[in-house]
Amino acid sequence: MMNPFQANTPPETEVQYFKEKVQRWLNVDKQIAELEKTLKELKKVRNKELEPEITKFMTAYNVTDLNTETGKLRCQERKTKQGINKINIRQNLTQYFTNQDKLDEAIQTIWDQREVKVCYKLKKLK
């Protein structure tokens, strides 16, 4: 008769293969973390130091396109809407609701009834 605990034990070859995959994942994760740190520093220089100065010059002198060795560099105006939050919802709904209790109930319903998306991701704990 088979021991019930042995039924869920994977073969040693699969365990070894699994361990190799985990070790490879950890090595790749470490490399990614190092590269992301470097990338973050480079983006900080580009976005916080250089871009504001370049766009300020281009807008001040009405330059929309700049020819470079690697192609055109265009200064565009981009407008984005602020994200929705409880304060924003409250400010806008007060135009339609005079009853404070109904307003609070509507906001809570909007907040609680948001769709929940489920996905799975590996995360390394420190």
- Grouped pLDDT means (10 residues each) for the chain, 126 residues: 66 94 96 97 95 91 90 88 85 87 88 84 67
Mark whether 64 and 87 lie in a shared domain: no
The domain of 106 spans 80-114
Instruction: Please indicate, yes or no, if residue 124 is contained in any of the structural domains.
Output: no
Tally the domains of the chain: 2
Same domain, 25 and 65: yes
Asked if residue 16 and residue 69 are part of one domain, the reply reads yes
What is the predicted pLDDT for the residue at 16? 94
* Same domain membership, residue 69 and residue 26: yes
Q: Are residues 62 and 94 in the same domain?
A: no
| 3 state SS of 126 | coil
The identity of residue 49, as a single letter, is E
Task: Say what the pLDDT of residue 50 is.
Answer: 93
Q: Do 70 and 17 share a domain, yes or no?
A: yes
- How large is the C-alpha radius of gyration of the chain? 27
Specify if 44 maps to a domain.
yes
Whether 61 and 102 map to the same domain: the answer is no
* CB environment 41-75: b (16+ within 10 A), e (fewer): eeeeeeeeeeeeeeeeebeeeeeeeeeeeeeeeeb
Tell me the backbone φ, ψ of residue 108, rounded to 5 degrees.
Answer: -65, -40
Helix axes 86-93, 100-112, angle to 10 degrees: 140
* 88 and 62 within one domain: no
In a domain, 4, yes or no: no
Provide the whole-model pTM: 0.54
